[in-house]
Amino acid sequence: MTTLKKLFVYAVLFISLGLIGYISFAYYVPYSEGVRSGELIKISNKGYLVKTWEGEISQGISGAQIFNFSVEGKNQEIINQLKEYQGNYVKVDYIERYRTFFWWGDTRYFITKVEKENSPHFNINSNENN
């Protein structure tokens, strides 16, 4: 092999390993983890080339605070729960990634767990004395 061919092979190998390392870091190392709650107002499967699951949670009465999130396609149980809870008050656990790619979803927030909750806006406590 000539020196130019060796240099080309090493450059391609270096760039490939760097790209694999970057994508692995973005996927496996979360930036943050947390919990959010609100009214589930949207869950949809969208995209032209790659379909991703996206959703929105309203965190205020007027809908002024919207939390946009994505769900990985492999989490079919979470997707089914979100479809079932549409229009209800939910609590979701999520991870925030450093970065996203078009085949993962539109946002950096990915839902890992969902639970149906009672709305605090319409919660009537029968034990309160008036």
Assigned token pair, 45: 């499967």
The average pLDDT across 111-116 equals: 93
Between the ranges 18-27, 32-41, 54-63, where is the mean pLDDT highest?
Answer: 32-41
Domain edges within the chain? 31-116
Give the confidence band of 63 by pLDDT, cuts at 50, 70, 90: low
108: left (phi over 0), alpha (psi -120 to 50) or beta: alpha
CATH class in words for 31-116: mainly beta
Q: What mean pLDDT is predicted for residues 21-49?
A: 87
> Can you tell me the distance from the alpha carbon of 60 to that of 63, in angstroms, rounded to the nearest whole number?
5
pTM value?
A: 0.74
Q: Calculate mean pLDDT across residues 31-56.
A: 90
* pLDDT, position 129: 47
How many residues are recorded in the chain?
130
Which residues neighbour 10 within 8 Å (Cβ) at sequence distance 6 or greater?
none
